[in-house]
Amino acid sequence: MSRFAPPRPSLADLGSAPPPAREPRRATTLIHIGARAANAAGDEALADYLMAAWRRLHVASRRAPRCPRCGAGAAFHSTDEGGLPQFQCSGCRQPFTRLTGTPMGRLRLGDKAEAFFHLVSHQITTAEAARRLLIKSETVKHWSLQTRLWLLALDPTGAWERRVLLGVRYAVLPEGDPVKPLAASPACRCAVASDDSDALAEMESPPLLVRVCPACELKAH
């Protein structure tokens, strides 16, 4: 096996079948699985969409946006820190930047933002992404989750969020459960995942997979 071709997670990674349960969603095992054919080229449109949104959060304009905390439109520019304009709200008096209050607010992507946004559509493990970005695997998981929450905020239809593959987990829906996944919360966007992987195609009765949404992923942390 070449070091450039990491092994894809196989169904053997699933371990034993999940125990029968009254609450199917909680009893499921979160897994990594090759849910789609390898997409070596990645999703350039998604990377471009993320980079454009990322740049909007980092524009040098000193025109104050609305306060993300109280919604007041009476903020003023106070200072620049590391090239990022900082504002002060006249209502709640809190300082903020355009990143404040977004899922990306506390992330320190730095100069890795572009490389990371290019990786989010790849069907690779978080460990492999961590190796390529020279950061910790846990950081990749965190960035991926926050990016998915951000995508849902930018595009509530969820169309862009569904294009993220990095760090996305799938739950096995136990046999006999309704095909429609049970919404765990009003924010839940979990959906039955269509899967065309070879491993599943070879199985007599392949497990039904649910793509775990970022809202549920957040609760599992």
Nearer to Zn ion, 88 or 137 (CB): 88
Q: Is 70 in the site for Zn ion (CB under 5 A)?
A: yes
Residue 96 Cβ vs Zn ion, minimum distance, rounded to whole Å = 8
Nearer to Zn ion, 33 or 190 (CB): 190
Nearer to Zn ion, 86 or 128 (CB): 86
Q: Is 209 in the site for Zn ion (CB under 5 A)?
A: no
The first and second tokens of residue 50, run together, are 């993320």
Q: Is 181 left (phi over 0), alpha (psi -120 to 50) or beta?
A: beta
Q: Which residue has the tokens 């965190």?
A: 142
Residue 80 Cβ vs Zn ion, minimum distance, rounded to whole Å = 20
Which of 33, 35, 50, 67 binds Zn ion (CB under 5 A)? It is 67
Which of 8, 66, 69, 169 binds Zn ion (CB under 5 A)? It is 69
Residue 92 Cβ vs Zn ion, minimum distance, rounded to whole Å = 3
Q: Is 92 in the site for Zn ion (CB under 5 A)?
A: yes
Nearer to Zn ion, 69 or 132 (CB): 69
Nearer to Zn ion, 9 or 65 (CB): 65
Part of the chain binding Zn ion (CB under 5 A), chosen from 76-84, 128-136, 165-173, 190-198? 190-198
Residue 137, judged by CB atoms within 10 A of its CB (0-12, 13-18, 19+), counts as middle
Q: Is 75 helix (H, G, I), strand (E, B) or coil?
A: strand
Q: Who's near 102: CB < 8 A, 6+ residues apart?
A: 57, 68, 150, 153
Q: Who's near 62: CB < 8 A, 6+ residues apart?
A: 77, 80, 85
Q: Which of residues 170-189 bind Zn ion (CB under 5 A)?
A: 188
Q: Is 107 in the site for Zn ion (CB under 5 A)?
A: no
CB atoms within 10 A of CB 70: 15
Q: Is 84 in the site for Zn ion (CB under 5 A)?
A: no
The dihedrals phi and psi of 211, each to the nearest 5 degrees, come to -75, 115
Q: Is 91 in the site for Zn ion (CB under 5 A)?
A: yes
The dihedrals phi and psi of 170, each to the nearest 5 degrees, come to -125, 140
The first and second tokens of residue 133, run together, are 């970005």
Residues found near Zn ion in the complex (CB under 5 A): 67, 69-70, 72, 89, 91-92, 188, 190, 213, 216
